[in-house]
């Protein structure tokens, strides 16, 4: 099985989050009007040690960076209003990916494993909570760390510290117990721990716990631990209600390749969840034998949105999943919820929106057999993770009727579609393959 490391971003939002993650820069998102911020380019150049004119406008600064990375900068890389297009961002992403891999190859041969600090407070608290048997953690109100992150860690370590101390003093006690140092850069007013302080807790705890464990490798000690952390981050990105029109318009504004798809809810879930995961932990999409899988960190995961209008979730093509499972595991992060239907008004709006934005319908080889009701909205209810460690475990799931094969109909041009696997989600719940579950609060 060959794994191709680079996969182009499907939207500008995905591109900026992956660029910042590649070089360890602060997490990025899009600014007003779904435009990339100049700080993305400034931080990218600084992280790579590139000599550029940071006073230049965005397209010129991006051209300088692209040239230094050995990538051609062509007119389709930018547009009016000093805006970089998805083509341009992918050019930067490809060049940066290649340069980072080149530097990693040059640095190989050193036997020491350097600690990897978290890039954000969200990443820090999720990684800290995954080290012990405590529940997954995210940030509290005001993007502040919860004290329970520290008390859970103290319990898990069996550390002789006073858990009634306020957050900064408790964190300091933990760092001292772990053999680290603590100073004024580790906390701020309002009993808040800075990213520097959380990283000192994280790195000290990882060194202690991983030194005592036979498990060596990525951020998380097991697929279940990884799944729990991923779901916690995705939960913060999922809105209370996914409105069809707003979702399609948002994807179009961000130049997503999938804004015109009929099944908008699944593509919108990927649109918001993938950047959240990349900003939280790094990682990103990967390709196995020319098939893209949505997210790869320690394990490979696909993102799926499943509504109550169907008893099963449709997965990737059978041959792609079979190939992946020959050498490693495969997991699913599934958003479950209620699909809101109308009598076709949304579908009509979607058709008009496509035509207005240069996407007229493709001619069909034959008329549609019937006209379905349209999915106007989706109300998320919970997140679930399923994981299959190898081909044998996947075969067992098929034998138990948890995974079936779906023969697809033909494309609009009449050509055949490849068969896909289907996960029977209701049957799979509570089985050994169901590794994480997170109800979404009503907000």
Token duo for residue 416: 């055949």
Residue whose entry in the numeric block shows the structure tokens 């058709």: 351
> What's the pLDDT score for residue 365?
62
13/252 Cα distance (integer angstroms):
11
* Rounded-to-integer distance, Cα 438 and Cα 175, Å: 30
Per-block mean pLDDT, blocks of 10 residues, the chain (443 long): 66 94 88 91 92 92 91 88 91 90 68 67 86 78 88 91 94 94 89 91 86 53 87 92 95 91 93 90 82 89 89 86 89 95 91 92 65 87 94 93 82 70 91 91 64
pLDDT at position 129: 86
Question: What was the pLDDT predicted at 240?
Answer: 94
**CA distance linking residue 22 with residue 284, whole number of Å:** 9
Q: For position 111, what pLDDT does the model report?
A: 44
Q: Provide the pLDDT for residue 193.
A: 93
pLDDT of residue 410: 63
CA dist 181 and 150 (Å) reads 16
- Do residues 40 and 16 lie in contact, with contact meaning Cβ atoms separated by under 8 Å? yes
Using an 8 Å Cβ cutoff, are 113 and 86 in contact?
Answer: no
**96/65 Cα distance (integer angstroms):** 9
Q: How far apart are CA 374 and CA 370, in angstroms?
A: 12
Q: What is the pairing mode between strands 78-79 and 83-84?
A: antiparallel
Quote the pLDDT of residue 300. 93
Q: Which of 26, 36, 70 is nearest to 50 (CA)?
A: 70
Report pLDDT for 281.
85
Specify the pTM: 0.77
């Amino acid at each position: 099985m060959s794994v191709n490391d680079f996969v182009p971003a499907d939207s500008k939002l995905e591109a900026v989050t992956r660029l910042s993650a590649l070089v360890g820069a602060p997490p990025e998102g899009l600014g007003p009007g779904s435009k990339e911020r100049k700080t993305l380019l400034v931080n990218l150049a600084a992280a790579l040690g590139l000599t550029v004119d940071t006073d230049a406008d965005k397209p010129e600064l991006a051209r300088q960076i692209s040239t230094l990375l050995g990538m051609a900068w062509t007119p389709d890389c930018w547009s009016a209003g000093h805006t970089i297009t998805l083509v341009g961002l992918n050019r930067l992403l490809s060049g940066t990916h290649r340069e980072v891999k080149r530097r990693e190859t040059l640095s190989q041969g050193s036997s020491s494993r350097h600690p990897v600090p978290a890039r954000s407070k969200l990443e820090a608290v999720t990684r800290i909570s995954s080290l012990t048997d405590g529940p997954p953690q995210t940030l509290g109100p005001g993007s502040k760390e919860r004290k329970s992150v520290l008390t859970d860690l103290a319990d898990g370590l069996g550390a002789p510290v006073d858990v009634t101390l306020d957050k900064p003093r408790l964190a300091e006690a933990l760092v001292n117990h772990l053999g680290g140092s603590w100073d004024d850069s580790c906390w701020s007013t309002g009993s808040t721990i800075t990213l520097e302080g959380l990283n000192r807790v994280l790195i000290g705890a990882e060194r202690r716990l991983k030194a005592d464990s036979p498990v060596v490798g990525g951020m998380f000690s097991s697929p279940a631990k990884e799944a729990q952390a991923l779901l916690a981050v995705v939960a913060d990105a999922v809105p209370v209600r996914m409105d069809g029109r707003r979702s399609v318009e948002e994807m179009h504004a961000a130049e997503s390749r999938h804004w015109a798809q009929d099944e908008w809810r699944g593509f919108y879930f990927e649109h918001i969840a993938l950047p959240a995961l990349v900003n939280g932990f790094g990682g990103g999409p990967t390709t196995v034998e020319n098939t893209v899988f949505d997210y790869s960190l320690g394990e490979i995961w696909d993102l799926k949105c499943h509504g109550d209008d169907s008893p099963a979730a449709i997965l990737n093509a059978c041959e792609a999943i079979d190939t992946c499972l020959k050498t490693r595991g495969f997991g699913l992060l599934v958003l479950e919820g209620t699909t809101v239907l109308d009598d076709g008004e949304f579908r009509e709006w979607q058709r008009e929106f496509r035509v207005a934005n240069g996407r007229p319908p493709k001619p069909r080889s034959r008329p549609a057999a019937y006209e379905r009701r349209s999915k106007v909205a989706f109300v998320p209810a919970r997140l679930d993770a399923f994981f299959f460690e190898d081909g044998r475990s996947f075969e067992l799931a098929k034998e138990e009727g948890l995974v079936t094969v779906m023969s697809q109909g033909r494309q609009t041009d009449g050509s055949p579609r490849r068969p896909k696997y289907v996960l029977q989600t209701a049957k799979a719940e509570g089985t050994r393959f169901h590794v994480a579950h997170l109800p979404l609060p009503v907000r």
